[in-house]
Amino acid sequence: MIKHPALLLGAILIVTLLAFIPSLRNGYMPTWDDDKYVVNNPLVKELNLHSVAKMFTRPVNGSYVPLPLLTFSVEQQLFGDNPFPRHLTNLILHLLCTALVFQILRMLKINPLFAAFGALLFGIHPMRVESVAWISERKDVLYSMFYLASMLFYIRQHQNQDNGSRNKAMAYLFFIFALFSKIEAVTLPLCFLLIDYYLKRPLRFQLIMEKIPYFLLSLLFGILGIYIIYRVGLKSEAFLAGNADISFTNRIFYAFYTISWYMIRFFAPLSLSAWYPYPHFGGFSKVLFYFVNPVVISAGVFLAFHYRHRWPAIIFGILFFLVNIIFLLQIFAVGIAFSADRYTYVAYFGFFFILVWGASQLAQKNRGWHAPLITLLSLFSLMCLFLTNARCRAWHDGETLWTDVISQYPDQEALPYVNRGVAYTMAARWTEALQDLNKALAIDKDCKAVYQNRAIVYGNMGQPELAIADFSKTIDFEPANANARFNRGVTYVNTGNNTAAMDDFSKTIAIKPDYLAAYVNLGMLSFQEKNYNKALEVSTRGLSINAAIPELNRIAGDCYFEQSNDAKAAGYYYTCLVSDPGNLNAILGMVAVSVNKNDKAAAGSYLLRAQNINQKLTLGKPGLEELEKEGIFLAPRKKETLLRLY
C-alpha cells in the first residue's frame, strides 16, 4: 500500500479529478445565478482599474465577492464566454483545497494513510459537487482555498517557532484574501481558537490578544455582510417570500433539523438536489421535529463536552462543523431553501477529521481493526466517487438541473418549474416552456415570476396580446421592473402601437438610466416618426453612457443627415462602422454623404460594400423598396439621395 505522502497526495488528486471530469463539459447555469455573476455581469466584461474598483466597492446579487469577480473578469479577457475555462478553474481550486486538507490533517497528527482518506473524501464527497460544478460558486472554492491556507500557516506558526513571523504574515494575508472572496470566512478566528484547544495551547491572555486583529477583520466584514443583506435582501420582497410565515421559534427547530440532515447526508449522500424546499411536518413527525431531534443533538453535544478531556479531537471536529455552519442554518430567514450542499464545503472538514482520527485511533489500539477500517473507508470512497461523477451530470445545464430537482420534489413548489421553463425558453422550446410556467402558476397562483417569463414565451409563439397582458401584470406587481417595461415596449412595436412602445421605452430609461437598448429603440421610433430632434437627443444621451454603441451612432448620423449636416452625419456613420462594419444603414449613409460631396469613387466603393451585404441593392429603386420591407428604414432625404445613383 502507498505510504509516501507525495504519492498519496498524487493518488488523491487523480481520483478527485476523475470524480469531477464530467463537470468540465458543463455549461452556464443562467437560471441559477450564473447570469448575475458572469454571463450578464458588466463588471466582468472589462478589466481595468475602474472596473476593479467597482468590484471592490459594489455587491453583486446580495454578495460582496470581489476576488471571485476578478477571476471571472480575467477569464473573460483570456477566453471570452467559453464556460470550460471557468469550470476548469473551479476544479483546480478544489484540487488545491483537497491538497491543503491532506497537509492540515497530517499536521494535526493524523496517520498519513488515514489523512489521505480524509482528504480523498473531502475531495470526492458528493456534497462537494454544487461548489465545484456550479460556476457561480467560485466564491466557495476560492474562499475555502484561502481559508484552509490560512489555517495551515497558523498551525505551522505554532509548530515551528523558527519561522513564526513569516507563517504569521501568511496566515493574515490568506485570511484577508478569504474575506474578499466570501464573507463566510469571518469564522476563521474561532477556528483558530479550536486549533489552539486541539494543540493544547494554554489558555492565556496572550493567546486571546494575538487573535484580536483577526476578530477585528471579521467584525468589519461581518458588519459589511449584514449591511449588504439589509440593503439588497431585507428590502426585497422576494428575498423572504419563501419562509416569511415561519416563526423565529420554528427556525430554531429547523436549525436542529438541518444539523441532523447534514449529519445524515455526510454518511448517506443520496437524493441530493440543487434546491431543498422547507419540509412540512405532521402527525408523529412533529414529535421528531420538535422533541426527539433537538434532544438527541443536544444530548450528543453535552456528552462530547462532558468528555472533552478524553475526546479533544471529537470536540474539535464537532465545534469546527458548528462554527462554520451556524450562520447558514437560516435562523435568520434568507431565501426559500432550508439547506444547501455548498454550505458544507468547509464545515464538513470537522466531520472528515473526526472520521479519520477515530479510524486511526482504533487501528492504532487494535491492529486487527486496521484492514477492516481501510476496507470500509475504501468502499465509502468508491461509493462517493461514483455518486459524485454522476451528480456532476445533473449540473450540465438549466434543463438537467431543474429536471433533477423536479424529479425529487414534483408538484411541491413553483420555483423549479419556473427555472426549467426559463431554461426551455432560452433553448427556444416554447411549448415545453409554456407547460412548465403554467404548471408553476397552478402550484402557486401568486407566483409573480411566471408572468414576465411567460410573456416572453407568448411573444415568441406569435401571441403578442397575451404577452402584453403578462408583461402588464408584471409591471403591476413591480412598477420599477425595467426589463418588463422594455419587453412590453418591443411587443407593442411588433403590434404597430408605436405610441405605447415609446412611452414604455421612455419609462424604462427613467427607471434605469443606463438601459442602452431602450435608448436605441426609442431613438429609432422617434426617427421613424420624423421627430429628428427627439431622436438626436435620445441617441446622444445614450452615447454619453457608451459612445461605441453602433445603432445609436447610426441614428445620430441619420438625424444629422436629414437636417442637412452631412459632415456630422459622416462622423457618426464612421464611428458606427468602426464597431459594426456590416451595418447596412450606416454604409448607405456613407453612400449618401459621398453622393452629396460628388465623390463618385467613395460613393461607388461604399455602394459595392452595401451590395455585397444585400444583393437586392443592385436592382436600383426596387431594391431600396425591398430593403425597406425588410425593416431598413430610410428617411426621405437619405432615400432621395440614394436614388440619384440610379
What's the pLDDT tens digit per position in 267-283? 999 999 999 988 877 77
Question: Are the C-beta atoms of 222 and 186 separated by less than 8 Å?
Answer: yes
Write out pLDDT tens, residues 281-320.
777 777 777 777 888 888 887 777 777 777 889 999 999 9
Q: What CA–CA distances, in Å, run from 200 to 195, 205, 440?
A: 8, 15, 56
pLDDT at 323 over 70: yes
Question: Are the C-beta atoms of 323 and 74 separated by less than 8 Å?
Answer: no
Write out pLDDT tens, residues 337-365.
678 999 999 999 999 999 999 999 998 88
pLDDT at 369 over 90: no
Q: Which amino acid does the sequence have at 266?
A: F
Per-residue pLDDT, averaged over 481-498, amounts to 95
What's the per-residue H, E or C state across 360-424? Answer: HHHHHHCHHHHHHHHHHHHHHHHHHHHHHHHHHHHCCCHHHHHHHHHHHCCCCCCHHHHHHHHHH
Per-residue pLDDT, averaged over 211-230, amounts to 82
pLDDT at 239 over 50: no
Report which DSSP code applies to 108: T
Question: Are the C-beta atoms of 636 and 618 separated by less than 8 Å?
Answer: no
Between 337 and 26, the more confident residue is 26
pLDDT at 203 over 80: no
With cut-offs at 50, 70 and 90, classify the pLDDT of residue 245.
low
For the chain, the average pLDDT equals 89
Rounded to two decimals, what is the model's pTM? 0.86
Between 366 and 568, the more confident residue is 568
pLDDT at 333: 56
- Beta bridge pairs of residue 337: 277
335 dihedral zone (left: phi>0; alpha: psi -120 to 50; beta) = left
pLDDT at 204: 80
Per-residue pLDDT, averaged over 504-517, amounts to 96
pLDDT at 619: 62
Looking at the chain, how many residues does it have? 646
pLDDT at 234: 45
Instruction: Give the residue ranges of DSSP H helices in 108-137.
Output: 112-124, 129-133
Residue 110: strand, helix, or coil: coil
Percent of the chain topping pLDDT 90: 67
pLDDT at 235: 47
Residue 591: strand, helix, or coil: helix
With cut-offs at 50, 70 and 90, classify the pLDDT of residue 242.
very low
Q: Write down all domains in the chain, each with its CATH number in brackets.
A: 5-394 (no CATH), 532-646 (1.25.40.10)
Q: What CA–CA distances, in Å, run from 352 to 101, 168, 316?
A: 10, 26, 11
Q: What CA–CA distances, in Å, run from 571 to 496, 541, 577, 578?
A: 32, 17, 10, 11
Write out pLDDT tens, residues 552-567.
999 999 999 999 999 9
Between 25 and 627, the more confident residue is 25
pLDDT at 240: 43
pLDDT at 446 over 80: yes
